[in-house]
């Protein structure tokens, strides 16, 4: 039995901000509905946990609320599996970069978002010259190694906040976010 809920839970400061709002809304929702449920993410002592919360009102014969009961289920393992599946679906298996579909979605969201920071964004498409000859001469395993080395170079060259994508084959896309100007990154592009 918990008292002063949701405040006593939120005061601990372990729930991420977006989930705190969701948690508060549950307690507003249960006042008007018989049943509600949600998922929340908690970070405590550096450990992330996910919980499924279910609340149900109990009524008397006059249909007055007598009590509200809740169930808290730890769904961390299942959520971790879901996140890993999502990650695998969004990423290229060889390079770890975003795949073409995910890149398009991320760029679209970025450009349409009202929270996008004003500034210059540079979108580049790049392919490797003579890559087919590498595969044909030395085999696909050697070609895969070349792609891994190219992706490692790109990862070192660009910031963690930039979007890197393997479009397929030997084609890559890079979205440099909030570049001060093209001339500021031109030397990097020439080096590549």
Name the band, by pLDDT with cuts 50, 70 and 90, for residue 2: low
Name the band, by pLDDT with cuts 50, 70 and 90, for residue 1: low
- The whole-number pLDDT of residue 9 equals 80
- In this prediction, residues 72-76 reach a mean pLDDT of 94
Residue 170 in contact with residue 117, Cβ under 8 Å?
A: no
- The whole-number pLDDT of residue 17 equals 81
- The whole-number pLDDT of residue 102 equals 95
Residue ranges of alpha helices (H) inside the chain are: 7-10, 17-29, 76-90, 100-112, 131-138, 140-157, 182-191
- The whole-number pLDDT of residue 192 equals 86
Residues 6+ apart with CB under 8 A from 151: 94, 95, 96, 97, 164, 166, 172
- CA 22/CA 50 separation, integer angstroms: 13
The whole model's pTM is what?
Answer: 0.63
- CA 103/CA 127 separation, integer angstroms: 16
Residue 147 in contact with residue 91, Cβ under 8 Å?
A: no
- The whole-number pLDDT of residue 90 equals 95
Write out the two tokens for 164.
């890197």
Residue 30 in contact with residue 55, Cβ under 8 Å?
A: yes
Low-confidence winner among 113-122, 126-135, 177-186 (lowest mean pLDDT) = 113-122
């Amino acid at each position: 039995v918990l008292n002063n809920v949701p405040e006593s839970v939120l005061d601990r400061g372990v729930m991420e901000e977006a989930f705190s709002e969701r948690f508060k809304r549950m307690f507003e929702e249960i006042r008007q509905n018989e049943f509600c449920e949600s998922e929340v993410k908690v970070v405590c002592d550096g450990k992330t946990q996910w919980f499924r919360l279910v609340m149900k009102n109990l009524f008397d014969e006059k249909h007055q609320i007598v009590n509200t009961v809740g169930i808290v289920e730890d769904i961390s393992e299942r959520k971790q599996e879901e996140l890993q599946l999502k990650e695998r679906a969004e990423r290229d298996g060889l390079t770890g970069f975003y795949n073409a579909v995910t890149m398009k979605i991320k760029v679209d969201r970025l450009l349409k978002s009202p929270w996008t920071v004003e500034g210059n964004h540079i979108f580049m498409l790049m392919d490797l010259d003579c890559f087919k000859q590498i595969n044909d001469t030395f085999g696909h395993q050697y070609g895969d190694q070349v792609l891994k080395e190219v992706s490692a170079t790109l990862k070192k060259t660009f910031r963690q906040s930039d979007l890197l994508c393997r479009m397929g084959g030997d084609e890559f896309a890079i979205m440099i976010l909030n570049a001060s100007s093209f001339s500021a990154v031109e030397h990097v592009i020439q080096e590549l």
